[in-house]
Structure 1
Amino acid sequence: MRRLVAVSLIALSLSACAAKPDTIVSAVPPAQPVAAPARVEPAPASLADLVKAVDIPYEKFTLANGLTVLVHTDRKAPIVGVTTYYRVGSKSEPKGRTGFAHLFEHLMFGGSENVPNFDIPLEGAGSTSTNGSTWYDRTNYVETVPKGAVELALFMESDRMGHLLGAVTQDKLDKQRGVVQNEKRQGDNQPYGLEDYAIGDALFPVGHPYRHSTIGSMADLNAAALGDVRKWFTDNYGPNNAILALSGDIDAATARSLVEKWFGQIPAGPAVPKVFAGPVDLPAPVTRDIADQVPNLRLTRTWSGPGINSDDAEALEVGMDILGGLASSRLDNALVRGSQQAVGVSATAQQHEQTSWLQASMMVKDGVPRAAAEAAFDAVIAKFLTEGPSEDEVRRSATRLVSQEIGRLEQVGDFGGKGMTLIEGQLYSGDPAKYKAQLQRIAALTPADVKAAMNRWLSRPVVAVNTVPGTRTEKGETLGGWGDEATSPAPKPDAKKPAPKLVTGPKRTAPAVAPVGDLAFPAIERGKLANGIPVTLVRRTSVPKVVISLNFDAGTAADALDTPGTQSLMLNLLDEGTQTRDATQIAEAQERLGATIGAAAGLDSSAVTLDALTANLAPSLELLADVVRRPAFRGEDVGRVRDQRLSQIAQVEANPSGLAARAIAPILFGADHPYGLPGDGLGSKAAVAAMTPATLSAAHDRWIRPDSLKITAVGDVTMEALLAVLNQSFGDWAAPATPRPVKDLSRPAPAPRPRIVLIDRPNSPQSVIFGGRVLPLTGRDQDKEALDLANEVLGNGFLSRLNMDLREDKGWSYGVRSMVPSPLGPRSLLVMAPVQADRTGDSIKLILADMAAFPATKPVDKVELGRVTDGNIRGLPNRFQTNMQVLGAVVTNERLGRPDNYIGTLASRYRAVDSRAIDAMAKAYLGRDGLTFVVVGDRKAVEPQLKGIGLPVELANPVDSGASSGK
């Protein structure tokens, strides 16, 4: 994937939106308080009925040049997902060219003969997201565009399919090579970041197409030449090796006309030979230990399995889910809740076209002897193979998987949307409706089916790769390649050798983007429960699901009145036991209902969220109420989850990005401000270790109360029906006699003290740079859209100045981002940049220079202005495809005091923003003055680079979240 995946930082706010004028719905009459209801296990909806709800109608046609086209019509919004797959991935790479499929994917975004830059016109047209990814079997490209920009998207996809090579230069190749190498460094730099290399090496023999990593080896990336680029393109990127899906507000007749117009003249490429690469039976078990800078021993057990078209595919998916995917999985019940030898477990069936990774893992609790952990881990797997699953386990897993698939129907394009579902069925199975057969097979599975499949594949010799805490001795830069380089090196041509000149195709002109109408946001309805709890509903009927959020006025800022980490740990314990259910019973109940309950603390509010099937809404809400209103906080549960939280803090502190994020908030806001605690809300080890059932129960009673609650729902339910079921679960909840606690967000932050705080992390191939300062604004300050747009120019987006400079031009980073979150209290400016270690100082200088230039010497230009104004206006419908997106927007608007019609005014607000407004906001809030930087990296490599920046350097303890000593 070519994009930087954003890191969750200091409770980033959800995107903002609002709606049409609300419809007021009367509350039902008050009811008398009642005792906690006796628990009755709910009767879930039929699994067969759920499977019937999953449907993606489509039409299919093929052009004369071999391009296969799939069209799905969905008129719920004026947007179209454009998804293109090529049947080429890392398994297609020859020796000496590992990582090339992914490198080429990056090059495909660098412009074609008629399009200098793909992102600028697409983002200006409102595309979200414009992205691509590479995996073993395929390379894909996605964009979701307004209906009026479909022809532009097809022109651009066709131009890079048929008119690319004339625009690929040595300079572009070198820059994207640097970006990809930094993507590799970023992954390798993570805790356990070398594990996958070792698993692939042990699981498959040298030369097996699935053996080497998709990111490849540094040596092979360095060797890639322009001649390789041309051969890869001509061999693999013909229309006969591609599938195009158009999903959304379009019909097959319109699609055929446009596709013929733009793709029809592209000649077919050579026939692409199929790669055959099935699972491998090892002659004997393989064990390998990897030393790494990690806090916990992690054990993995991996088998190669069959591909997605195997008769065993669905049984293995369900079997691995029961083993370690479900919240009530065998591994969870035995090792996390049972013996408590683990602080985390998992099991998955990662399925590809011709093989799969069947993998289970155990994160061993600190202090547990390794031999005991391994024996217990292997015993759970062996017992499952002997016993097989129960009927209830199979049904719970199947219901959960079907519910997840129903949720994916909300999205027309992008990664995981309906277009991708259809294409992958066609690509891997020759059937766009393959998903239906898969779900039907899952629904029909018996325990005997699952047991037989699991025994067929997991009784074979296993690969055991174990990451052991210690000093990392291996380097990711030497890993990921073919595997026999030391004994049989591949020829390495001159990567800088000029390629012969090409004959380019005829000039083509991009079509215009049609006008985009105003966004039609669904109506907001309001009501109240019998006890006065306000309820907000946005009704959407595209899928038979409902998401409900309970938002309490608390959040991690509430920890300023308690102990750091209290809110997060208390919320984490809600589903670990109630007065009538234990943790396993809660997990099993969710799985039977196809529901998901999650709880998390943002900066200003604590939220408990339910994702439920409409058919199971009433029993799902009964379960939600039990979890929220009647948590038990039993001593054994608190002790177990507290130990998991201590391990989680250790894991975050071993992660360079997590460590930097924990350090920045205390530095910016100071210890006395509610926002001055570590930004992830986890607290400190000392504070968490001291928490007891009594303190957590007191925090629950203090903050989780009906008079600080707002309920928001989005989905397939009427207000009348919603109020009825909510009153059954929450309408009798009485507020306590104690007054509501008040967080003081008006406390001043300390005066900025610009400096660089260096946290030493030895052996780091990358440094993580985190800069920031507190702004003289709060989230409630209105009419600041120009600031958000100015930040898009500076650093919030792929085409932003910081990202284009450090990533696309210099190749020093996989991605840079700036943020201006909108909490209730003070806003802050944050800049995050993971960069190669030897360019740490240069990167900080460049960040400061880019910020100083905006707008002093480099004001916003016309292209940037059009991209952030017109692009946002046209892209508004894309931002609200899913129930969860709408929910987050409504909740954010309510929290910040925005009117219900806010989203209806966004287009006019953006149109009113001119270059002077953007420049003024950049000058006032986005400048370099007052910035403090946290740098997590190898001190020996980094510290000498910081001397010429002009900021004092301090050293910080890597585990105290910001306490520093002067130097």
Structure 2
Amino acid sequence: MRFSKTFTAMAVATVLLGGCQATAQQNSANNAAVVQQQNLPDVAISYESFTLDNGLTVVVHEDRKAPIVAVNVWYGVGSKDERPGITGFAHLFEHLMFNGTENYDDEYFGPFERAGATDMNGTTNSDRTNYFQNVPTPALDMALWMESDRMGHLLGAVTQDKLDEQRGVVQNEKRQGEAQPYGRVFGFLAEQTFPQGHPYSWTTIGSLEDLNAASLEDVHQWFNDYYGAANAVVVLAGDIDVATAKEKMQHYFGHIAPGKPLKKLQSWVAKSEGTKRATMEDNVPASRIYKLWNTAEMGTADSEYLSMLVDILASGKNSRLYQRLVYDEQIASMVSGFQYERVLAGQFFVIADAKPGVDMRRIEAIIDEELAKIIAEGPTAEEVARTKFSTIAGFVRGAERIGGFGGKSDILAAGQVYHNNPGFYEQSMETLKAATPADIQNAAKRWLTDGAFVLDVVPQPNYAAAEAQADRSALPEVGELPQLDLPEVNTFTLSNGLEVALAERHDVPTVQMRLVIDSGYAADFGGKVGTASYTMSMLREGTTSRDSLSLSKELETLGTNLSAGASLDSSSISMDTLVTNLAPSLEIMADVLMNPAFSDEEIKRKRGLWLENIKKEKAQPTAQAYRVLPQLIFGDNHAYSVPFTGSGTEASIQSLTRADLVNHAETWLRPDLSRLVIVGATTEAEIKPLLEQYFADWQAPASAAPEKQFSAVAPQTEARVFLIDQPGTPQSTIIAGQLAPSGNVENAEVIDVMNTILGGSFTSRLNMNLREDKGWSYGARTGWVGADEAGLLLASAPVQTDKTKESIEEILKELNGYLGDNPASAAELEKVIANKTAKLPGAYETKGALLRSIVDTLEKGKDMEWLEAYGQRVEAIELDTVRTSADDILRPDALTWVIIGDLSQIEEDVRALNLGPVTKLDSNGNPL
């Protein structure tokens, strides 16, 4: 278990740009000293565990910093427990268990939304299924009632209609995944790299044929086989103690049957011999090589060593392969790698995207060269020290949270389910800390010298269920929720005029900050689109005293995250560091801000990667739509008529010069256009002298500060349709947009609530229609982009190709109904208000969440009292106001539609709808 670095294959399949690069030779004495003095922190997650008489394991972690409790339920069943012919059942059941129980036969999310649950989801992988949510403490009984109801009282609610509905949703999820570039790769690799019948030789989502063949009897039998109490673990973390947990768990779960005795495989590594090769043709923007080896299973020392090795070899900008392939030889636009840790077997992946015209064998030869060097010589001590620190720093940041992916409840549950030990992370950490270059070298020798693929039980105790105690006739009431109480924000000004806002939070020894600059994509108006994003990204590519590789290595050694980027209305530099390394990290941040090198060599390197990324955006339907839609709505003469990805166009990026970047930085990166917001374990007395020390030389020029230029834009008066062809895709992507108010209007909360009812949440009208009722889409939403000057209201739905016309009709039916005979209801408003207010106490658990909200509040010209009063403003919203907002904003008859799909299958149907003039566009948004 590699802490928060355990990846899923499907997540890796969608990586667009990443990096790995070899260690640079120009290591400074300062870096060497840091390595020698490296002190790896000890991280302890206290817990107690107990087992109910029915075999249900419960793990409790007490953390009283916020009045919330994470409820994390893991079942020891995943796709590895299936067999050929019944694949996809574990994942299908993940969906079915959100669709109501015998005692609450309704959408599972409803009570949780009202109670303000956060970090709520369910996931399935090869080895387990989990369901998790953070709830305010008064809602704990409700959450336990709901979780115990679907564990012990589900099957009576699993009907043929629900099976058919969720089967359709899962099939659309599969289609949506396979419609993405490289979306079919991991299914093919599973079949080719494990022997027939191996539990990892199929994907978690399963096959369409097996899903279609699943009968209601099959599905009921699957639940009876695997979802007993003795095959489950419940972790409660947060505002709770063991005594309370024992009482509540016995009350709600004690009566549930243990379930059947199970036979479970413990290891099946399937190490290969020889090299096997395969070629797949697919609709992708770049050639990509996958090279992988079957390796040691999760929990072994070798799996830990290989996880460290892949960081050194192929993960991140300081890895060896990034330097060779992306940085030095510039023959690849992306390199990534991961040790795919699973219970029965592991796999070691290296992935690279070739630049146009580059022979894939040339890239493979370099991969083999760098791997051979490590096998022959081992990694350097500095490389090992760096990956130890960065891994543990990531673990520390994850352990700030009680729930969600990588949070404390997740860590404890994984330890119990995978290793029968909630504290297994300590063993992993000890292995990591003790690892030597020789350990990593020897693991590479054992596992990576042969067998490459290139594309590439125990008797059950006598458990017995107790008599039922919980009243199953009614859902427990959620108690009175605590009021939002945020830390005070202290503001002060540096000698150079820079405004600083500080919110102290001393829970874990980290500090996060963001320097916000009033520029963004809108500052490109009248110039070359993409300049703001490109300039900000170049800040991380070296300063006058640190080259790009040295800068990245120094940050990694400190365990500091530093990023720079731009959004529509602002640019920013963000930093997240450990308190012990605050001073050197601030020195680097200031250097990046004030002394960017903008070297021609780095500009050239980045340009190639940037252009490749634009190509990948065009291959991804939603990204492509967000590239062309702004110009269609705002027209040619507006600061917002730019690709909302921020990447610009091929022509504008090709024409960017060093002078353009220098001019943008000198014009816009100035203290009188900026604000520094800080959240973390520091005080004004501690940090202000450091800020003065490092930022005092950053002075505003004598010239007046620039202002962004905005022109008027008239709302569209009639509907228009724009079609983009993507031959062979199994899905159509539908995006419909219109002008809307800016995010700074006084009734912003009303607009947000109006949108949430329509399409802004899982249980919103649009998603319940297209996903839950029809099963045509994996998810459909509406969203309000509330920018500073103007806004957009967007409806989006990726749908199966043969339901494109019908889906457009349903979108229009929902919009017109909202304005006509089916306006927002009192019940819908009450649900949304309950959700938005009840989740507030847990909404600011992390520094990052608090930082984002403070930044947004200050950018709107508001203060913390305004932020804390958010719940009161929402609770005061009246139904008539929501309806009026919809009437004022929604224009279903004047939408701009962008529809991307196989036009040979959908164009005739779309034209038959007679929505308005139809124009076909090329991938750049130009009319054909």
Q: TM-score, normalised by structure 2?
A: 0.94
- Structure 2 residue identity aligned to 1:530: S
Q: Which residue of the other structure, out of 592, 610, 625, is the alignment partner of 1:627?
A: 592
Are positions 1:334 and 2:324 aligned together? yes
In structure 2, the CA distance between the partners of 1:734 and 1:506, relative to structure 1 (3 Å rule), is closer
Q: Which moved further from structure 2: 404-413 or 945-954?
A: 945-954
In structure 2, the CA distance between the partners of 1:390 and 1:46, relative to structure 1 (3 Å rule), is closer
Which whole-Å CA distance do the structure 2 matches of 1:934 and 1:43 have between them? 56
State the Cα deviation string for residues 457-500 of structure 1 (Å, max 9, x = none). 1112101115xxxxxxxxxxxxxxxxxxxxxxxxxxxxxxxxxx
Which whole-Å CA distance do the structure 2 matches of 1:747 and 1:360 have between them? 50
**Cα distance, 1:277 vs. partner?**
4.4
Which whole-Å CA distance do the structure 2 matches of 1:663 and 1:747 have between them? 20
| 2:541 corresponding residue in structure 1 | 576
Are positions 1:460 and 2:412 aligned together? no
Is the Cα–Cα contact under 8 Å of residues 838 and 942 in structure 1 kept in the other structure?
yes
Q: Which residue of the other structure, out of 153, 162, 166, is the alignment partner of 2:152?
A: 162
Matches within 5 A, 1:941-960: 941-960=905-924
| 1:96 corresponding residue in structure 2 | 85
3-state secondary structure, aligned to 1:778: coil
**Cα distance, 1:133 vs. partner?**
0.4
Are positions 1:55 and 2:18 aligned together? no
In structure 2, the CA distance between the partners of 1:46 and 1:522, relative to structure 1 (3 Å rule), is farther
Which whole-Å CA distance do the structure 2 matches of 1:242 and 1:132 have between them? 14
Q: Which residue of the other structure, out of 617, 629, 640, is the alignment partner of 2:605?
A: 640
3-state secondary structure, aligned to 1:744: coil
Which whole-Å CA distance do the structure 1 matches of 2:164 and 2:63 have between them? 42
**Cα distance, 1:583 vs. partner?**
1.1
- Structure 2 residue identity aligned to 1:587: S
Which whole-Å CA distance do the structure 2 matches of 1:232 and 1:419 have between them? 27
Matches within 5 A, 1:361-510: 361-465=351-455, 507-510=472-475
Matches within 5 A, 1:607-686: 607-686=572-651
Q: Which residue of the other structure, out of 118, 136, 147, is the alignment partner of 1:128?
A: 118
3-state secondary structure, aligned to 2:836: helix
**Cα distance, 1:864 vs. partner?**
1.4
Are positions 1:848 and 2:812 aligned together? yes
**Cα distance, 1:48 vs. partner?**
7.3
**Cα distance, 1:796 vs. partner?**
0.5
In structure 2, the CA distance between the partners of 1:936 and 1:39, relative to structure 1 (3 Å rule), is farther
Which whole-Å CA distance do the structure 2 matches of 1:277 and 1:198 have between them? 22
Which whole-Å CA distance do the structure 2 matches of 1:536 and 1:42 have between them? 35
Which whole-Å CA distance do the structure 1 matches of 2:361 and 2:301 have between them? 36
Q: Which moved further from structure 2: 66-75 or 429-438?
A: 429-438
Which whole-Å CA distance do the structure 2 matches of 1:294 and 1:270 have between them? 46
3-state secondary structure, aligned to 1:612: strand
Which whole-Å CA distance do the structure 2 matches of 1:927 and 1:164 have between them? 42
3-state secondary structure, aligned to 2:268: coil
Is the Cα–Cα contact under 8 Å of residues 199 and 302 in structure 1 kept in the other structure?
no
Which whole-Å CA distance do the structure 2 matches of 1:426 and 1:51 have between them? 23
In structure 2, the CA distance between the partners of 1:39 and 1:877, relative to structure 1 (3 Å rule), is farther
Q: Which residue of the other structure, out of 669, 675, 695, is the alignment partner of 1:710?
A: 675
**Cα distance, 1:631 vs. partner?**
1.1
3-state secondary structure, aligned to 1:934: strand
Which whole-Å CA distance do the structure 2 matches of 1:104 and 1:910 have between them? 36
Which whole-Å CA distance do the structure 2 matches of 1:755 and 1:449 have between them? 63
3-state secondary structure, aligned to 2:678: strand
Which whole-Å CA distance do the structure 2 matches of 1:541 and 1:44 have between them? 25
- Structure 2 residue identity aligned to 1:321: D
Which whole-Å CA distance do the structure 2 matches of 1:136 and 1:810 have between them? 28
Q: Which moved further from structure 2: 658-667 or 183-192?
A: 658-667
- Structure number with the bigger relative contact order (C-alpha 8 A, sep ≥ 6) is 1
3-state secondary structure, aligned to 2:525: helix
Which whole-Å CA distance do the structure 1 matches of 2:299 and 2:510 have between them? 29
Are positions 1:251 and 2:241 aligned together? yes
| 2:63 corresponding residue in structure 1 | 74
Is the Cα–Cα contact under 8 Å of residues 673 and 748 in structure 1 kept in the other structure?
yes
**Cα distance, 1:436 vs. partner?**
1.8
**Cα distance, 1:927 vs. partner?**
4.4
3-state secondary structure, aligned to 1:675: coil
**Cα distance, 1:736 vs. partner?**
2.0
Q: Which residue of the other structure, out of 169, 172, 185, is the alignment partner of 1:182?
A: 172
Are positions 1:149 and 2:127 aligned together? no
Runs of 4+ in 1 over 6 A off after TM superposition: 45-48
Which whole-Å CA distance do the structure 2 matches of 1:232 and 1:69 have between them? 24
Are positions 1:592 and 2:557 aligned together? yes
**Cα distance, 1:652 vs. partner?**
0.8
Is the Cα–Cα contact under 8 Å of residues 301 and 431 in structure 2 kept in the other structure?
no
3-state secondary structure, aligned to 1:132: strand
Q: Which moved further from structure 2: 556-565 or 949-958?
A: 949-958
Q: Which residue of the other structure, out of 516, 519, 533, is the alignment partner of 2:498?
A: 533
Q: Which residue of the other structure, out of 833, 838, 846, is the alignment partner of 2:797?
A: 833
Which whole-Å CA distance do the structure 2 matches of 1:864 and 1:952 have between them? 32
| 1:34 corresponding residue in structure 2 | none
Q: How many residues are treated as equivalent by the alignment?
A: 891
**Cα distance, 1:737 vs. partner?**
2.8
Is the Cα–Cα contact under 8 Å of residues 272 and 294 in structure 2 kept in the other structure?
no
Q: Which moved further from structure 2: 399-408 or 118-127?
A: 118-127
Are positions 1:817 and 2:781 aligned together? yes
RMSD, matched Cα:
1.9
| 2:259 corresponding residue in structure 1 | 269
Q: Which residue of the other structure, out of 863, 876, 885, is the alignment partner of 2:840?
A: 876
- Structure 2 residue identity aligned to 1:347: G
Is the Cα–Cα contact under 8 Å of residues 119 and 403 in structure 2 kept in the other structure?
no
| 2:892 corresponding residue in structure 1 | 928
In structure 2, the CA distance between the partners of 1:953 and 1:187, relative to structure 1 (3 Å rule), is farther
- Structure 2 residue identity aligned to 1:268: P
Is the Cα–Cα contact under 8 Å of residues 202 and 286 in structure 1 kept in the other structure?
no
Q: Which residue of the other structure, out of 64, 72, 83, is the alignment partner of 2:72?
A: 83
**Cα distance, 1:695 vs. partner?**
1.6
Is the Cα–Cα contact under 8 Å of residues 802 and 816 in structure 1 kept in the other structure?
yes
Is the Cα–Cα contact under 8 Å of residues 299 and 419 in structure 2 kept in the other structure?
yes
Which whole-Å CA distance do the structure 2 matches of 1:376 and 1:229 have between them? 48
Q: Which residue of the other structure, out of 202, 206, 217, is the alignment partner of 1:216?
A: 206
Is the Cα–Cα contact under 8 Å of residues 795 and 801 in structure 1 kept in the other structure?
yes
- Structure 1 residue identity aligned to 2:162: K
3-state secondary structure, aligned to 2:756: helix
Matches within 5 A, 1:276-315: 276-315=266-305
Which whole-Å CA distance do the structure 1 matches of 2:234 and 2:891 have between them? 44
- Structure 2 residue identity aligned to 1:234: N
**Cα distance, 1:954 vs. partner?**
2.8
Matches within 5 A, 1:722-737: 722-737=687-702
| 2:333 corresponding residue in structure 1 | 343
Is the Cα–Cα contact under 8 Å of residues 719 and 917 in structure 2 kept in the other structure?
no
| 2:101 corresponding residue in structure 1 | 112
Is the Cα–Cα contact under 8 Å of residues 35 and 382 in structure 2 kept in the other structure?
no
**Cα distance, 1:42 vs. partner?**
9.3
Is the Cα–Cα contact under 8 Å of residues 289 and 360 in structure 2 kept in the other structure?
no
Which whole-Å CA distance do the structure 2 matches of 1:785 and 1:666 have between them? 27
| 1:519 corresponding residue in structure 2 | 484
Which whole-Å CA distance do the structure 2 matches of 1:388 and 1:212 have between them? 35
**Cα distance, 1:816 vs. partner?**
0.7
| 1:27 corresponding residue in structure 2 | none
Which whole-Å CA distance do the structure 2 matches of 1:193 and 1:905 have between them? 45
Percent identity, aligned pairs only?
Answer: 40
State the Cα deviation string for residues 624-668 of structure 1 (Å, max 9, x = none). 111121111111111010000000000111111211121111111
**Cα distance, 1:306 vs. partner?**
1.3
Which whole-Å CA distance do the structure 2 matches of 1:277 and 1:92 have between them? 13
| 2:877 corresponding residue in structure 1 | 913
- Structure 2 residue identity aligned to 1:323: L
- Structure 2 residue identity aligned to 1:624: M
Gaps spanning 5+ residues in structure 1: where? Answer: 9-37, 467-504
Q: Which moved further from structure 2: 845-854 or 305-314?
A: 305-314
Is the Cα–Cα contact under 8 Å of residues 39 and 580 in structure 1 kept in the other structure?
no
Which whole-Å CA distance do the structure 2 matches of 1:277 and 1:137 have between them? 12
Which whole-Å CA distance do the structure 2 matches of 1:142 and 1:44 have between them? 39
Is the Cα–Cα contact under 8 Å of residues 771 and 832 in structure 1 kept in the other structure?
yes
Q: Which moved further from structure 2: 171-180 or 301-310?
A: 301-310
Are positions 1:888 and 2:857 aligned together? no
**Cα distance, 1:351 vs. partner?**
0.8
**Cα distance, 1:312 vs. partner?**
1.1
Which whole-Å CA distance do the structure 2 matches of 1:180 and 1:672 have between them? 43
